[in-house]
Structure 1
Amino acid sequence: MKQITNTLLMVRPVAFRMNEQTAVNNYFQEDIQNSDVNKKAQEEFDEFVKKLNSVGVQTVVVDDIVEDDTPDSIFPNNWVSFHEDGNIALYPMFAPNRRKERRLEYFAQLEDAGFKINNIVDYTAAEEDDVFLEGTGSMILDRVNQKAYCAISPRADEDLLIEFCEDFEFTPVIFTANQSVDGKRKPIYHTNVMMCMAEEFAVICLDSIDNAKERKNVIKHLKQDGKEIIAISEAQMHEFAGNMLQVQGSEKKYLVMSARAHAGLNKDQISKIEKHCEILSSDLHMIETCGGGSARCMMAEVFLPKA
């Protein structure tokens, strides 16, 4: 099993804006009243893809459909995950307008690119019961050690997580992660905002796991699997310093993040990361501000076998 891949599915936005349906529990979003929001997001997206391609990361870029009015389509990792056995998982989404992002015709483009799809495991019927599990936003997969780290939230249901783990043979590592919002502790909407799993290390905001027992358990699992723990503060998490993804370039490995996340790291954290791989960062200011998601959310990793 591999932890990282050199191929990403990415969706170029056509109707990007702050999604009012996700803002109810994504406290990272802000509304910018500006007619150029989508244009700016497209520019940031294109520059990001260019940077990834320049180091040998393969991107399968697909275009969203403007008629669907899917403001968050730029974040495909929430509705789909691709696995080495040729399986694809489809996930139930909290916001009704995000459910239209699941477009199976994208898979034809992956097949055209030489990938083999064996089976689609579909969890989306759970939406009828208001039960959600938003892909690798909700779950941080340690694919090598077959563990799924998940912070339970309105977008990550414990029973559905366990069902996924049984189907895909992962061990669940369950906890709650909170952030301070107007003086109250509220659940972080996605685990991948506070945690990133790389081959040899994990970046994690331990401060967000308020329960000492749960925090200890997460640390135990990471140490057990030989991961160096690079802790970030809650303030750094708010700069999207937890929303990162390690990828394979043509010659080197890279930890991909936004310019804002990169600027939020201190020298010690950067040197710990750079022991293992290079940092690749790109300016995603408009996408982060309106979308409430960052670099990691924009990349759906393709682990499918080649046909």
Structure 2
Amino acid sequence: MNSASHLLMVRPAGFGFNPETAVNNAFQVAEPGNVQERALSEFDRMVQLLNHHHIEVTIVNDMPSPETPDSIFPNNWVSFHEGGIMCLYPMFAPIRRLEKKPELIEFLQRKFNVSAILDLSPHENENRFLEGTGSMVLDRRHKIAYACLSPRTHIEVLEEFCCLMKYKPIPFHGEDKNRIPVYHTNVMMTVGNEYAVICLDSIADTQEKDQVVTSLRNSEKEIIPITHHQMQHFAGNMLEVFNKDGKSFVIMSTQAYQSLNTGQITTLQKYSAILHTPLYTIEANGGGSARCMITEVF
């Protein structure tokens, strides 16, 4: 199974615009006012939506100290895998490394019956980074890791993860409409059980694009292309999940949903019921959307 039926989310204590991450995240825009309060409201509405559809969610309340303005995006520093494996990742921004709080890691070990930890964090000392399922979009069924290389996604760390976890790496380069490198793979693509949403226009290199398309087709995914404009509205940042009854849903923001055309929505609905919720404050100040807020538990 490629998609999870149990999710981990972190309720933020001090969400805000992070200048350390804004240096290479073109999606971030600082907003005035109490963004923490607005972000909490958006977070809680998303959790209510998931609960309403019987999707299992474990909520962790972040602590105000140390200050971690991006803690709402746990998918970047931790991932879970079959067999009780937990992976910890090297983070680009020093303030984001503080999200890997020892007491939280211990709690997750107990909560999710972790039997082994793969800790790639030492790569931070060499300025090599791989930010979890932000840097990698994983096809868990076929053991393929799609990765858009960037300052936050280093080829050597990607290859180490793939070697240890028995994944095939598919690295490539992606750019937005202004030719700025895409900071995370999961803002330009998602892979479900039977489909893939991807901004193929962002992959300028023909050979790299062909490799990605061939891999998706060989793994029997229906490809749903999105445009640069739709990617900028977080249409690539969606995630397929299953509820307790085994029903498939695809989670996205309202901004992402409203950017899709009728044909794209119809194709998605062949496979998954669509759930969307407003995340405008989180998207603008954090530069991430619905998928970034979710760590899948296997």
Shared topology, TM-score over 0.5? yes
The answer to whether residue 271 in structure 2 is matched with residue 276 in structure 1 is: yes
**Residue 75 of structure 1 corresponds to which residue in structure 2?**
73
What is the RMSD of the two structures over their aligned residues, measured on CA atoms?
Answer: 1.0
The answer to whether residue 169 in structure 2 is matched with residue 175 in structure 1 is: no
Deviations 1:261-285 (A, max 9, x none): 0000000000000000100011101
**Residue 19 of structure 2 corresponds to which residue in structure 1?**
20
Deviates further, 43-52 or 247-256: 247-256
For 2:65 and 2:272, the matched residues in 1 are separated by 41
For 1:296 and 1:211, the matched residues in 2 are separated by 26
**Residue 290 of structure 1 corresponds to which residue in structure 2?**
285
For 1:161 and 1:111, the matched residues in 2 are separated by 24
After TM superposition, give the deviation of residue 105 of structure 1 in Å: 2.8
**Residue 240 of structure 1 corresponds to which residue in structure 2?**
234
Contact 2:248–2:272 under 8 Å retained in 1 = yes
For 1:33, what is the secondary structure of its paired residue?
coil
Contact 1:18–1:290 under 8 Å retained in 2 = yes
Q: Which runs of 5+ in 1 are unaligned?
A: none
For 2:103 and 2:256, the matched residues in 1 are separated by 33
The percent identity for this pair of structures is: 47
For 2:244 and 2:164, the matched residues in 1 are separated by 32
**Residue 195 of structure 1 corresponds to which residue in structure 2?**
189
Contact 2:56–2:244 under 8 Å retained in 1 = no
Q: Which runs of 5+ in 2 are unaligned?
A: none
TM-score (norm 1): 0.95
For 1:164, what is the secondary structure of its paired residue?
helix
- Amino acid in structure 2 at the alignment position of 1:45: F
Contact 1:287–1:293 under 8 Å retained in 2 = yes
**Residue 29 of structure 2 corresponds to which residue in structure 1?**
30
For 1:294, what is the secondary structure of its paired residue?
coil
**Residue 95 of structure 2 corresponds to which residue in structure 1?**
97
After TM superposition, give the deviation of residue 110 of structure 1 in Å: 4.2
Contact 1:77–1:136 under 8 Å retained in 2 = yes
Contact 1:60–1:110 under 8 Å retained in 2 = no
For 1:109 and 1:57, the matched residues in 2 are separated by 21
For 1:180 and 1:261, the matched residues in 2 are separated by 17
For 1:218, what is the secondary structure of its paired residue?
helix
Deviations 1:237-261 (A, max 9, x none): 0000000010001331100000000
| Aligned length in residues | 297
**Residue 153 of structure 2 corresponds to which residue in structure 1?**
156
The answer to whether residue 81 in structure 2 is matched with residue 86 in structure 1 is: no
For 1:101, what is the secondary structure of its paired residue?
coil
TM-score (norm 2): 0.98
For 1:89, what is the secondary structure of its paired residue?
strand
**Residue 244 of structure 2 corresponds to which residue in structure 1?**
250
**Residue 123 of structure 1 corresponds to which residue in structure 2?**
120
After TM superposition, give the deviation of residue 112 of structure 1 in Å: 5.5
For 1:44 and 1:272, the matched residues in 2 are separated by 27
For 2:289, what is the secondary structure of its paired residue?
coil
